[in-house]
Structure formats: structure tokens, C-alpha cells
């Protein structure tokens, strides 16, 4: 991160610029939804506003990071408020704490009270952070409930090449999708360390085994066994989970090698040299320039388009967490420069895509979390932590 904290050409320090950008986004969010931290529009149902559990969890995690960096109690209060909403509004369908989307997913005939693995695992990671920061056992109890939902109510399948958690426990969605499974595996690994439950740790290890054994030779992963192409955002979620797992178990050389290969593919193929992210989309997308390098991933010629905002939030988290000697934190500075220069609007919010000024609450949450994580990782590295 040292390269990022250099002074900008106009004499304003990059760190101060980053802090100002975070504050502007925070102020926009407070004007936009006030105490309803995760309330807003979503790209999939843009015509309506809803409460999004994922947005509460990701914004909450970002506020927790800002509290850890600054010590300002107001940020901890906002993290607690997010957690309070989440624990008062889990899906009523289950005995344990879990969350999903607030609308019916017509494509899969999935009801509005169905919980999804990725949403629940991301919220769980936030609640673990609250427990570690405050030491309050109420948050640990909530995490235990989340873990029980993942293991018992959502479920998983054991395979020869590892273990896969279901995308959701709904017949059309009991499908093999890597990113939610590996994010849940990290959550369980962390819970296994906190509680000393060896069985939970063993299950999580099998989840990472699947990620290692199903990595493509070039370092990429297919989104799923049905959608056989990589994309920006979900690749980042896998990479972040691998890095966090290695912080728990730094001697796992197979996971380390897997992470290194994945990072190389991610940077070289899903970003330009200037740090502009690209989403890989199926060939049905229109008005996007084709690129032949991805022909091996999908039939026909896939399309490359500017990344969505949450891809940048996840990318900043991924790159900023890597060791300084790898060059990835330096590349992070290019990504951040593009984000702050080209994506932030005068209101303080960020545009959904480079060519699309709409604001969606889950995307705003992810970029807020990414920028707050960048501050935290800069502080970690200044203290000599990995």
C-alpha cells in the first residue's frame, strides 16, 4: 500500500483523498436512506425499493472497518445498527439466522423469503467481525446460528473432488456454484477456529479442496459447472476467501499456489493495465465488443464490458490484502484512481457502470466496503501485519 499513499499531482495526499471520498459516500447514504442502511434500488428490480440484507451486512462491515481504523464510536454505532436490523429481519422460513433477497426470483420460482448462501455467508463474516471487535457473545451466538443454517438447513453435497454448499436449498438452486460455497467455507473455517470445532474446520477444508481442484490451468474458475466462463465480481469473491483462509492457515501451500495463479489470471484478463475492470458476460449481451481470448469458456464469442461497481469494491479488497512484495497492492492504486476519478458522482455516490449513472444500494455498499478495507489494510501494513 505504500505506493498508494504517495502525494497526488495536485499536492493532496492520496490517503486524505480516499478518506474524503469515503466520507462523501457515507453522507450520500445518510441523505438517501437515513437509518435504513440497506434500503434502496437494485439492478435486478430497479423500479422498486427494498431492504437488502446483503447491503446491511456489507455497509455494516465497512463501518466496522472504519471504526477499527479511526476509533470513532459513531462508526461502531452504524455497524451495530446494521446488525440489529439483520437479526430482527432474518428469513422467517428457517429456525436459524439466514437472509436472502426481498423479492421473488421468477427465473427459479424462488420465493421472497428464501435464503441464499452468499448473502448469509457475507452477513456471517460481518457478525464475526463484530464479535472479534467488541467481544460481545451475542454476536458469537448469532454466528453459531448462521453456521447451523449453512450446515443443516441449507446443506451441501460431498464429492470426490471436494465439498459444495448449495446455492440455496430450493430444488432448482441446489446447483454447484463456486463463489458462495467458498465464501461459506471461509466463514466456517473462521468459526471452527473461534469455537475449536474440528468437524466444522474439516468441512470448510473440503470446501477449499473443491476450489483448488476445479481451478482451470490458466488460474481462472468457471462461474459454475453450468456457466462455464469466469467473471470479475465472483472471481474476486473466491480470491478474497482464499486469502482470508490463508490468514488462518498460512502454511497451506496448495491454497497459496491456487491463490497466486488465480490472482495472475484475474489481474491480466479482467483488468486493463490502467486498472479498468471488465465484466465477462455471456454472448447474448449486445453492443459490447468481442474478444477472442475467452472463446474457450463459452460457445460463440463472449463479450467484454466495463465492470459493475461491486466488482471494483471486491477488487480493491482483494488487491489491498495481498502482500506488498507481490505488486498487487501497487496495482490496487490504479484501480482506486480509476474509481475515484471516473466513477464517483458529484452527489458522493458511485455510478453503476462507467456509462451508467444509476445508483444501486448493494453496489454502493461493496464500493464503500472496498474503500474502507483499503484504509484498514494500509494501517495493517504500516504495523507490519500480513
Supply angle C-alpha 274, 266, 273, rounded to 5: 15
Say if CB 154 and CB 115 are below 8 A apart: yes
Confidence check: pLDDT of 382 > 80? no
- pLDDT, mean of residues 210-226: 93
* Residue 283: predicted pLDDT: 45
Q: Region 296-316: what's the mean pLDDT?
A: 73
pLDDT digits (tens, 9 = 90+) for 163-192: 999 999 999 999 989 999 999 999 999 999
The predicted structure's pLDDT at residue 18: 96
Q: Give the mean model confidence (pLDDT) for residues 19-41.
A: 98
Examine the pLDDT at 302 and tell me if it is beyond 80: no
Average pLDDT value for the chain: 91
CA trace torsion 51, 56, 59, 62 (10° rounding): 180
Enter the DSSP assignment of 108. G
Q: Is the pLDDT of residue 229 over 80?
A: yes
CA 25, CA 284: separation in Å to the nearest integer?
Answer: 34
Q: For residue range 49-108, list pLDDT tens digits in order.
A: 999 999 999 999 999 999 999 999 999 999 999 999 999 999 999 999 999 999 999 999
For residue 234, name the pLDDT band (cuts at 50, 70, 90). Answer: very high
- Tell me, what's the pLDDT at 9? 45
Task: Give the pLDDT score at 13.
Answer: 84
Question: Could you tell me the CA-to-CA distances from 135 to 26, 124, 231 in Å, in that order?
Answer: 26, 16, 37
CA–CA distances in Å: residue 275 to residues 67, 107, 269, 348: 28, 34, 11, 21
**Phi and psi, residue 210, nearest 5°:** -60, -40
Between CA 386 and CA 381 the distance in angstroms is 7
CA distance 199 to 281: 38
Judge whether 1 and 324 are in contact, CB under 8 Å: yes
Angle, helices 253-270/309-320, rounded to nearest 10 degrees: 140
Nearest to 309 by CA among 1, 20, 17, 25: 25
Q: Is the pLDDT assigned to residue 214 strictly greater than 60?
A: yes
- CA nearest 42: which of 355, 363, 311? 363
Q: Of 225, 103, 213, whose CA–CA distance to 174 is shortest?
A: 225
Question: Quick check: 320 and 332 in contact, CB under 8 A?
Answer: yes
Task: With cut-offs at 50, 70 and 90, classify the pLDDT of residue 20.
Answer: very high
**Taking the domains of the chain in order of start, what are their residue ranges?**
1-89+318-386
pLDDT per position as a tens digit, 252-290: 999 999 999 999 999 998 999 999 999 875 443 333 333
Span 108-139, pLDDT tens digits: 999 999 999 999 999 999 999 999 999 999 99
Amino acid at each position: 500500500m505504500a505506493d498508494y499513499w504517495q502525494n497526488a499531482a495536485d499536492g493532496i495526499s492520496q490517503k486524505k483523498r480516499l478518506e474524503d471520498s469515503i466520507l462523501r459516500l457515507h453522507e450520500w447514504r445518510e441523505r438517501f436512506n437515513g437509518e435504513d442502511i440497506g434500503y434502496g434500488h437494485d439492478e435486478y428490480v430497479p423500479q422498486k425499493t427494498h431492504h437488502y440484507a446483503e447491503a446491511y451486512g456489507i455497509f455494516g462491515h465497512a463501518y466496522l472497518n472504519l471504526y477499527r481504523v479511526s476509533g470513532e464510536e459513531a462508526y461502531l454505532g452504524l455497524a451495530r445498527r446494521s446488525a440489529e436490523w439483520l437479526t430482527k429481519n432474518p428469513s422467517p422460513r428457517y429456525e436459524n439466522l439466514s437472509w436472502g433477497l426481498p423479492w421473488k426470483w421468477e427465473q427459479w420460482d424462488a420465493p421472497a423469503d428464501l435464503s441464499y448462501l452468499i448473502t448469509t455467508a457475507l452477513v456471517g463474516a460481518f457478525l464475526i467481525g463484530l464479535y472479534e471487535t467488541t467481544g460481545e457473545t451475542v454476536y458469537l451466538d448469532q454466528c453459531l446460528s448462521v453456521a447451523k443454517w449453512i450446515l443443516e438447513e441449507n446443506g451441501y453435497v460431498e464429492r470426490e473432488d471436494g465439498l459444495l454448499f448449495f446455492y440455496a436449498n430450493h430444488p432448482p438452486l441446489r446447483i454447484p456454484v463456486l463463489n458462495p460455497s467458498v465464501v461459506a467455507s471461509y466463514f466456517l473455517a473462521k468459526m471452527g477456529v473461534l469455537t475449536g470445532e474440528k468437524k466444522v474446520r474439516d468441512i470448510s477444508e473440503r470446501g477449499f479442496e473443491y476450489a483448488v481442484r476445479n481451478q482451470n490451468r490458466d488460474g481462472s474458475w468457471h462461474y459454475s459447472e453450468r456457466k462455464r466462463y469466469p467473471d470479475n465480481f465472483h472471481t474476486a469473491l473466491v480470491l478474497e476467501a482464499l486469502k482470508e483462509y490463508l490468514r488462518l492457515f498460512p502454511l497451506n501451500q496448495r491454497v497459496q499456489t491456487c491463490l497466486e495463479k488465480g490472482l495472475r489470471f484475474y489481474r491480466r484478463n479482467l483488468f486493463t493495465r490502467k486498472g479498468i475492470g471488465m465484466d465477462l458476460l455471456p454472448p447474448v449481451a449486445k453492443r459490447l465488443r468481442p474478444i477472442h481470448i475467452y472463446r474457450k469458456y463459452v460457445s460463440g464469442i463472449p463479450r467484454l464490458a466495463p465492470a459493475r461497481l461491486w466488482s471494483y469494491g471486491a477488487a480493491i479488497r482483494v488487491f489491498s490484502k495481498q502482500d506488498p512484495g507481490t505488486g498487487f497492492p501497487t496495482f490496487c492504486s490504479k484501480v482506486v484512481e480509476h474509481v475515484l476519478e471516473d466513477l464517483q458522482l458529484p452527489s458522493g455516490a458511485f455510478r453503476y457502470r462507467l456509462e451508467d449513472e444509476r445508483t444501486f444500494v448493494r453496489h454502493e455498499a461493496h464500493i464503500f466496503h472496498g474503500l474502507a478495507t483499503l484504509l484498514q489494510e494500509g494501517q495493517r501494513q504500516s504495523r507490519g501485519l500480513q
